[in-house]
């Protein structure tokens, strides 16, 4: 671990450092949510409302954090969630997070909108790799992405289903922020205010969304989503099309973006291998319920038929314990490692995971549980205050 990151003691420390080093528009793109950001905030508040009931006088001198994630051993009950456009915050930030995941012994999920290609991640960060495919209107391009992931030996495909259209991210609109960059007086002055960020962009070029090279994006209006792929999502994607993906992909298939228990049951019957309970980090439908609030009903409906994972709001190791206590087999970490990477590159991403690992271990010890499998509903109070 680089000593330069030792002074970051929490994920919030990393977030604040990222905020200092990035132009406002760029930081807000990563940090923000849709509209009034109610769901973004609710994802974190849901964890804060849960209270532990510690068990005393248990031997917690040795803590085993290992788990099974998607049928294979994992050093932590975690995987890295797909986060797009990381290279705009830290050049080669996607590779940095992937390498951090490999070092930590957990799976890494590459976003369609990454600034590193499917092949680059496989070459530079060999480990347990998943690919998250956004559903595109260009179905041929969509199928080619899936084939590329298969050719690169990715162990799992993740289909994100909570994004038929892009959310209204008002921070981006107010900051004149779009990808690809559309320069205005406002955002040019903002970019110039952070020369250590701006000069590499000027001399080395603006990163590209490499998995989407050649995909046409005709929209230039101010109301377009702050990602070039946003105008290419396919709102007609339905259950039949998902079944076609299931038939096409020969390995593990994960569906991310589930909040409704009836949808979860239908996915089980379809032969999906795992579900991620998620509201897209509060970046799409504002007013959607918190992922943690939706988790227990989905866990009960699925009834251990397939793994259920939780995405959204993880900022502390204690959050991981709470999610598992409510029935998740593990969590996806998104903004935590993202903040680490855009604060300090690969050392920052590694520091984020080290912070969560240390907090997870300490929380388990203080709760009187020595293994992940011992975490259960009795670890939490049924009341909130």
Under DSSP, is residue 277 helix (H, G, I), strand (E, B) or coil?
A: strand
Out of 75, 124, 182, 280, which one is annotated catalytic?
280
Among left, alpha and beta (phi > 0; psi -120 to 50; other), residue 304 is left
Residue owning tokens 């000593």: 3
Q: Count Cα atoms within 13 angstroms, Cβ side, for 109.
A: 29
**Residues 175, 188, 15, 342, Cα dihedral to 10°:** 130
Which of 39, 290, 291 minimizes the C-alpha distance to 169? 39
Query: How high is the pLDDT of residue 181?
Result: 80
137 and 109 Cβ atoms separated by less than 8 Å: no
Q: Does residue 280 carry a catalytic annotation? A: yes
Torsion sign (Cα): 246, 153, 341, 209: negative
Question: Span 3-379: which CATH code?
Answer: 3.20.20.70
Q: Cα(133)–Cα(145) distance, rounded to whole angstroms?
A: 7
pLDDT of residue 179: 81
CB 52 within 8 A of CB 381: yes
Q: Decide if 261 contacts 297 (C-beta within 8 A).
A: yes
Helical packing angle, 261-270 and 239-248, nearest 10°: 40
Which three-class secondary structure state does DSSP give residue 380? Answer: strand
Please name which of 313, 91, 136 lies closest in space to residue 227, comparing C-alpha atoms: 136
Burial (CB count within 10 angstroms: exposed 0-12, middle 13-18, buried 19+), residue 175: buried
pLDDT the model gives residue 178:
86
- Confidence (pLDDT) at 216: 63
**In the block, residue with structure tokens 């040019």:** 188
**What is the rounded CA–CA span in Å between residue 89 and residue 17?**
12
Report pTM.
Answer: 0.94
Each residue's pLDDT tens digit in the chain (385 positions)?
445 899 999 999 999 999 999 999 999 999 999 999 999 999 999 999 999 999 999 999 999 999 999 999 999 999 999 999 999 999 999 999 999 999 999 999 999 999 999 999 999 998 999 999 999 999 999 999 999 999 999 999 999 999 888 899 999 999 999 887 888 999 999 999 999 999 998 889 999 999 998 886 534 333 444 444 567 889 999 999 999 999 999 999 999 999 999 999 999 999 999 999 999 999 999 999 999 999 999 999 999 999 999 999 999 999 999 999 999 999 999 999 999 999 999 999 999 999 999 999 999 999 999 999 999 999 999 765 5
* Dihedral of alpha carbons 232, 294, 312, 67, sign: negative
pLDDT number for residue 229: 53
Pairing assessment for the beta strands 330-333 and 308-311 based on DSSP bridges = parallel
Q: What is the Cα–Cα distance from 89 to 216, expressed in whole angstroms?
A: 24
């Amino acid at each position: 671990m680089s000593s330069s990151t030792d002074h970051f003691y929490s994920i919030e420390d990393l977030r604040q450092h990222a905020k200092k080093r990035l132009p406002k528009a760029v930081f807000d793109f990563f940090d923000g949510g849709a509209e009034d950001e109610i769901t973004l905030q609710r994802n974190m508040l849901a964890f804060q409302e849960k209270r532990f009931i510690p068990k005393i006088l248990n031997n917690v001198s040795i803590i085993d954090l290992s788990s099974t994630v998607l049928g294979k051993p994992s050093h932590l009950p975690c995987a890295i969630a797909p986060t797009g456009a990381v290279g705009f915050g830290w050049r080669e930030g996607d590779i940095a997070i992937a390498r951090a995941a490999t070092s930590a012994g957990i799976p890494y999920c590459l976003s369609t909108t990454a600034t590193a290609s499917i092949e680059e991640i496989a070459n530079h960060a060999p480990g347990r790799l998943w690919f998250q495919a956004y559903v595109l209107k260009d179905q041929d391009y969509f199928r080619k992405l899936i084939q590329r992931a298969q050719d690169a030996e990715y162990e799992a495909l993740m289909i994100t289903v909570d994004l038929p259209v892009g959310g209204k991210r008002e921070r981006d609109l107010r900051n004149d922020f779009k990808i690809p960059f559309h320069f205005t007086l406002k955002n040019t002055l903002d970019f110039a205010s952070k020369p250590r960020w701006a000069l590499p962009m000027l001399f080395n070029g603006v990163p590209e969304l490499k998995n989407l090279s050649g995909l046409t994006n005709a929209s230039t209006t101010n109301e377009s989503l702050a990602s070039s792929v946003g105008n290419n999502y396919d709102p007609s994607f339905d259950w039949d099309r998902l079944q076609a993906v299931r038939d096409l992909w020969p390995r593990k298939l994960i569906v991310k973006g589930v909040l409704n228990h009836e949808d979860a049951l239908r996915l089980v019957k379809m032969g999906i291998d795992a579900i991620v309970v998620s509201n897209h980090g509060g970046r799409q439908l504002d007013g959607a319920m918190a992922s943690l609030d939706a988790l227990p009903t989905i866990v009960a409906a699925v009834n251990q038929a397939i793994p259920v994972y939780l995405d959204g709001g993880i900022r502390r190791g204690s959050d991981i314990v709470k999610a598992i206590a409510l029935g998740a087999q593990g969590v996806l970490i998104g903004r935590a490692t993202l903040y680490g990477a855009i604060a300090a590159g690969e050392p920052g991403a590694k520091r984020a995971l080290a912070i969560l690992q240390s907090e997870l271990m300490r929380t388990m010890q203080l709760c009187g549980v020595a293994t992940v499998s011992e975490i259960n509903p009795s670890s939490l109070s049924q009341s909130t205050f």
